Amino acid sequence: MKRAAFRLQPVLELRRTEERAAAAAAAAAANAAADAGRRAAEQEAALAGAVLPPSLPAGSFVAAMVLLRTAATDAADARAMAIASAEQAEAVRAEWTAAAQRTKGLERLAERHRHALQQAADVAEERAADDLVTGRAVRAAGLRGPAWTD
């Protein structure tokens, strides 16, 4: 007996592929967010460790202040980039979750399909066994079966 194919199998394979791609994108986004956070922390630590010498000529003092101001701006920009990367990673993770849910729904349908096929095969096997037992009982009793068995 030929087993019926799950008609949505191509769609299920496509959903699994989409889920794998979404998982890879989520991992890449999480790595990018972690890298951005690490860079921001490094810049903030470098800025916190910056100290002006006790006495500087006016020109050098102004240059040092401009340098510190630029470093502070860079650190703030790096922190903003880290926050944006973390938000992007969260959005990509949410897309991955949605793809996994879509895949899970089709996998449940495929499992139901396999279960229904197995149940039908079990019923057919049970009927065949019943027919064998019934046939033996008829032959053992010397009774004649239905007209179509002549």
Look at residue 146 and tell me whether its pLDDT is greater than 80. Answer: no
Q: Is the pLDDT of residue 73 over 80?
A: yes
Q: pLDDT tens digits, residue range 27-63? A: 999 999 999 999 999 999 998 888 888 888 989 889 9
CA distances for 73 relative to 34, 43, 77, angstroms:
20, 10, 6
Altogether, the residues listed in the chain come to a count of 150
Domain extent listing, the chain: 9-108
In tens, the pLDDT along 84-101 reads: 999 999 999 999 999 999
Q: Decide: residue 116, CB within 10 A, 0-12 exposed, 13-18 middle, 19+ buried.
A: exposed
Q: What is the pTM of this model?
A: 0.67
